[in-house]
Amino acid sequence: MNITVIIAASLRTFTNRTPEVRLQADTVREALQALTDEYPEAARGLYDENGDLRDFVSIYVGDRDIRSLKGLRTELQEGDEIYLIPAIAGGACESVISTERMKAVTIEEKEIRRYSNHLQLKELSIKGQKRIMAGHVLVAGIGALGGVVAERLAAAGVGTIGLADAETVTPESLQTQTIHSTRDVDRPRVSSAKDRLKKLNPQVTAVVHQEKLTADNIEDILADYDIVVDASDNFVSRYLINDACVLQEKPEVFGAMYQTEGYVTVLGGKDSPCLRCLYPSPPPVGIVPTCSASGVVNTLPGILGAMMATEVIKLLTGNGEPLIGRMLTVDIWNLRYHMVHTAKDSGCAVCGTSPSIRAVQDMDYEDFCGLREDPNEEPIGSIDPEELARRLENNEAITIVDVREPHERAIHKFPGTLIIPIGQLARRQKELDPGIDTVFVCKEGKRSILAIRTLREAGYTGPMLTLKGGFDAAAQIIFPNEGAWL
């Protein structure tokens, strides 16, 4: 059969940036085999060390998850499209706002003028707007996505908006995080966002949670909210928020983005799968880069954030068809939208029929996401940017391997390095000198750890170090005059 495999942007590092591949195959298994025959490096992204399909990759034929079909044995028809959708992160519903809470809200004359666009809509009208005004919504992560969601919700009139974030505003974030301005640089993101929301709509209450969400505090923070918006940017927060929402029976509006693509869905409700149903475990560290390490076109958060805010409004009012049991994937660069169906997993660890997770304290989320070092594993050495600069200045024997993507190197060059993509390290290890230190460089210092582990698995025994903080930390130290930039 002639079929097409459509590859999400975060997996294209394994296919030479190819977005789709046309192949001959009769089953999904044959299609994946043909794909890895053409792009051998794709096997590392799709399969684990035991040859099993990785949990963080979902495969759809059309809009159906192969797990609801025959798995890898699913038969294909002429012209079928297979979607490879990794974790990055329908039907009508009842309002999460009770009738009593809705009736307790009054709309004053000035509010009638402010919310007149909603009041004129038969889908919302007065009852819908009153439910919006009665709503309490927590936005976790006040970056690019979360900022858009918070602004849209404030403009809509959501009564209480919680802002949970522990980061500060940085200059490089301003292009995508438009809730913040130049004057907010170095301020806490929650403080900047609160000021913006109060200017946008003084009638909205903005509650600040300037702290990292953890297993110790998340239950208390979530307790006061009706809906949680997950706009975080790391897998520890993703799974922590998911589990807490399931355990507290709160719906979660989930959004994730990467470069020019993104996903939006509703998780954790009574009839909706949770994140673990879709992705039982996260990808190994470094396999899927974050948007901060790979960039994102600045219009994408506006599109996805508006969609996420719309899902919140549907849940608050009980109108429309929320993305319950469905996930919308968006590729704005190729103008491709695709809806896939999702389903609860009866064997899910947190929302299945026999859950093993009954409290967030049951989980070590750092360990689950591969961020806690195995005491039995050989530790990974590191080098500070200052020490690397000193060794370079003294012309000491050292090999520097740059594992960044081509577009990253085009912006910030690192002269004198050996350029080897992670997927090529095993077969190109003979280019390294095991008699001297090899330092691995990526943008933030995470993919370099994956590079070292990859070479260890391949049998390389030479000394290897990761550059602490990656190129971001080293640029102003090693290249203080920015001579190597652009």
Domain holding 270: CATH number? 3.40.50.720
C-alpha 235/C-alpha 221 separation (Å) is 19
Residue range of the domain that includes 410: 381-478
Verify that 34 and 179 share a domain, yes or no: no
Verify that 79 and 228 share a domain, yes or no: no
Verify that 420 and 457 share a domain, yes or no: yes
Task: Decide if 245 is catalytic.
Answer: no
pLDDT at 475 over 60: yes
Q: How confident is the model at residue 92 (pLDDT cuts 50, 70, 90)?
A: very low
pLDDT at 45 over 70: yes
Phi-psi region of 381 (alpha: psi -120 to 50; beta: other; left: phi over 0): beta
* Domain final residue, candidates 368, 402, 433: 368
Burial class (CB in 10 A: 0-12, 13-18, 19+), 281: middle
Verify that 334 and 251 share a domain, yes or no: yes
Phi-psi region of 427 (alpha: psi -120 to 50; beta: other; left: phi over 0): alpha
* Domain final residue, candidates 335, 368, 401: 368
Task: Decide if 93 is catalytic.
Answer: no
| Catalytic-role residue among 245, 277, 291, 351 | 291
* Domain final residue, candidates 333, 368, 403: 368
- Residue 423: the pLDDT is 77
- Residue 392: the pLDDT is 86
Continuous H helices in 39-94: 42-46
Verify that 435 and 309 share a domain, yes or no: no
- Residue 362: the pLDDT is 67
Which CATH number belongs to the domain containing residue 32 in this structure? 3.10.20.30
pLDDT tens string 257-310:
888 899 999 997 666 899 999 888 777 665 655 555 557 889 999 999 999 999
Which one is predicted more confidently, 318 or 48?
A: 318
- In three-state secondary structure terms, 160 is strand
| Full-model pTM | 0.74
Instruction: Please tell me the total count of domains within the chain.
Output: 3
Instruction: Classify residue 130: in a domain, yes or no.
Output: no
| Catalytic-role residue among 245, 277, 369, 442 | 442
HEC assignment per residue over 288-314:
CCCHHHHCECCCHHHHHHHHHHHHHHH
Q: How confident is the model at residue 15 (pLDDT cuts 50, 70, 90)?
A: confident
C-alpha 367/C-alpha 242 separation (Å) is 16
Instruction: Classify residue 108: in a domain, yes or no.
Output: no
Instruction: Classify residue 117: in a domain, yes or no.
Output: no
> What six digits make up the tokens of 163?
């802002």
Which one is predicted more confidently, 415 or 386?
A: 386
Instruction: Classify residue 21: in a domain, yes or no.
Output: yes
- Residue 187: the pLDDT is 92
- Residue 63: the pLDDT is 82
Instruction: Classify residue 125: in a domain, yes or no.
Output: no
How large is the average pLDDT for residues 355-376? 69
Instruction: Classify residue 331: in a domain, yes or no.
Output: yes
C-alpha 359/C-alpha 283 separation (Å) is 23
C-alpha 134/C-alpha 161 separation (Å) is 11
CA separation, residue 149 to residues 36, 154, 249, 309, 403 (Å): 39, 9, 22, 5, 34
How large is the average pLDDT for residues 348-358? 87
Verify that 343 and 407 share a domain, yes or no: no
Verify that 435 and 288 share a domain, yes or no: no
Which CATH number belongs to the domain containing residue 431 in this structure? 3.40.250.10
Verify that 12 and 49 share a domain, yes or no: yes
Verify that 236 and 340 share a domain, yes or no: yes
Verify that 349 and 218 share a domain, yes or no: yes
How large is the average pLDDT for residues 37-50? 82
Q: How confident is the model at residue 91 (pLDDT cuts 50, 70, 90)?
A: very low
Verify that 323 and 189 share a domain, yes or no: yes
Q: How confident is the model at residue 364 (pLDDT cuts 50, 70, 90)?
A: low
Comparing CA positions, the residue from 119, 146, 138 lying closest to residue 315 is 138
Q: Which of 7-16, 106-115, 441-450 has the highest mean pLDDT?
A: 106-115
pLDDT at 6 over 70: yes
Verify that 332 and 236 share a domain, yes or no: yes
423 alpha-carbon distance from chain centroid: 22
Which one is predicted more confidently, 459 or 288?
A: 459
Instruction: Classify residue 264: in a domain, yes or no.
Output: yes
pLDDT tens string 120-149:
888 888 899 999 999 999 999 999 999 999
- Residue 486: the pLDDT is 37
Q: How confident is the model at residue 192 (pLDDT cuts 50, 70, 90)?
A: very high
Mean pLDDT value across the chain:
85
- Residue 483: the pLDDT is 43
Instruction: Classify residue 122: in a domain, yes or no.
Output: no
